Amino acid sequence: MRASKLQNTLKYSRYAYDNEGYIIHMLTSNERTFFTNAYIIETKNGLVVVDTMMINSDAIVLCQHIDNLNKPLIAVIITHGHPDHYNGTDTIINGFNEVPVISTKGVRNCIQDSFDAKEVKWKPYFGHDWPEDKILPNHLVKDGDVVNLDGLDYFFRDLGAAESSSDLLFTLGEHKSAVFVGDVVFNNMHGFMNDGNSAQWLRVLQQLLIELADVKQLFTGHGAPGNTYQLVQAQIEYISHYRTCLWALISDNQLLSDTQKQSFEFLMNKHYPQYQLASFIKAGIDPVAQELIVENHPLKMV
């Protein structure tokens, strides 16, 4: 599989934390697979991969970057159970001996419960590029666990439902200079609201504003890394705006008509003209509208 001809490339960026003994290599897919980020955390004697891309051809390019670093893969971490973050795991660990795939029980259950439905949705679109074999996390961490990998401490937090039904974050090293949040925060991109947990997602983000106040750099599942406080705050504003704008279009507790949905997409694009992944706007309309209708007076709590 690794020798097959590739048309894909992944955008590459490098962030060195020389004083703390690690380098973060960031790989980003193209728009067809939603500008998804995967990371390789390099320490003196090993590599840890964070998320594994969605399709075979992207995962193979990620493997080539791993191979080029010429160090053993010592673990894979999966941030959450959406296929753009776990689908490539089988390809990534192929050829390495018993690599632990680290995540929480909630993420494992999310993958297990949804991979058939995701395959029905996406395999017709991606064809042979859609991976056949799914690997579930096999090394489960709990909220507050610290795992040392090649001398570097990984501090794990189980956030529960936020962007997905179960989201994980972790900070690195004693200085906690970097945090990886999966899709709990996007940067300059529309959020994926399809799972309909927007109120809970907001509560998690408010908590993170306090909890991550001293963490300098945030690495996200989609978009460039950036200042932790600013990115978390921007995500709060995005979700709040999405909810407010959608609630304004809901009347008589009815889901939006097709015309109203087009208006909503227009308004969101107008408010965030520079944001990418505009296709995500539509994906959240019905689930979030349903959520707002159940909440009844949602704006009071935002």
Residues engaged in binding Zn ion (CB under 5 A): 82, 84, 183, 221
Pick the closer one to Zn ion by CB: 149 or 281: 281
What is the smallest separation between the CB atom of 7 and Zn ion, expressed in angstroms?
Answer: 22
Q: Pick the closest to residue 57 from 118, 127, 111 (CA basis).
A: 127
What is the smallest separation between the CB atom of 2 and Zn ion, expressed in angstroms?
Answer: 24
32 contacts: CB under 8 Å, gap ≥ 6: none
Distance CA 234, CA 44 (A): 35
Pick the closer one to Zn ion by CB: 46 or 226: 226
Residue with tokens 């590739």: 6
What is the smallest separation between the CB atom of 107 and Zn ion, expressed in angstroms?
Answer: 13
184 contacts: CB under 8 Å, gap ≥ 6: 159, 162, 163, 167, 169, 201, 204, 205, 208, 235
What is the smallest separation between the CB atom of 54 and Zn ion, expressed in angstroms?
Answer: 8
Q: Is 35 left (phi over 0), alpha (psi -120 to 50) or beta?
A: left
Reduce the DSSP state of residue 75 to 3 states and report it. Answer: strand
Pick the closer one to Zn ion by CB: 84 or 291: 84
What is the smallest separation between the CB atom of 299 and Zn ion, expressed in angstroms?
Answer: 28
Pick the closer one to Zn ion by CB: 150 or 195: 195
What is the smallest separation between the CB atom of 213 and Zn ion, expressed in angstroms?
Answer: 25
Rounding to the nearest 10 degrees, give the CA dihedral for residues 210, 18, 173, 186. 40
Pick the closer one to Zn ion by CB: 88 or 221: 221
In this structure, are residues 192 and 82 in contact, taking their beta carbons and an 8 Å threshold? yes
Pick the closer one to Zn ion by CB: 42 or 183: 183
CA 86 to chain centre: 10
Residue with tokens 């992207």: 58
